[in-house]
Amino acid sequence: MLHFIYSYTYWHYTSAIKSVLLHIRNILSFMWRFFAIPGLIRTLFSPWQRLQESYVSGFNIKEKLATLLVNTIMRLVGAVVRLTMILFGIVGLIIAGLLSMTLFLSWLAMPVIIGILLVLIFSTLL
């Protein structure tokens, strides 16, 4: 029985903890890549879905101003959508990070919690 406790504790604090940390890194890496925050920041003021008007040749101020207005609106729409996605990504990363820290700390404390519970159970039975 003591060998089992020693083996479990050794596994729990060596190879299993490496596996938990690897999973946490993978989750956070996935969240970072899923929301593509650097790419969204880099293209923040690009037109939404590349929707833009082409400028007509010649000197027609009304057409040029209308095209400028449409292109500006498309860039603002793109910025609003990208800022929303960046915000969701940052909030998602914070939530995933907090949950990961909670999981990690719980993993570290689990053998102690199980030991205390077993002592309490056996002491009430006797």
Per-block average pLDDT, block size 10, for the chain (126 residues)? 85 92 95 91 78 67 84 87 94 96 93 90 87
Q: What is the pLDDT of residue 54?
A: 66
Q: What is the pLDDT of residue 70?
A: 85
Q: What is the pLDDT of residue 17?
A: 93
Q: What is the pLDDT of residue 107?
A: 92
Distance CA 51, CA 33 (A): 25
DSSP state of 126: -
Domain holding 20, by residue range, is 2-125
Cα pseudo-dihedral 34, 38, 44, 47, rounded to 10: -60
**Tally of domains in the chain:** 1
Q: What is the pLDDT of residue 52?
A: 65
Predicted TM-score of the model (pTM): 0.74
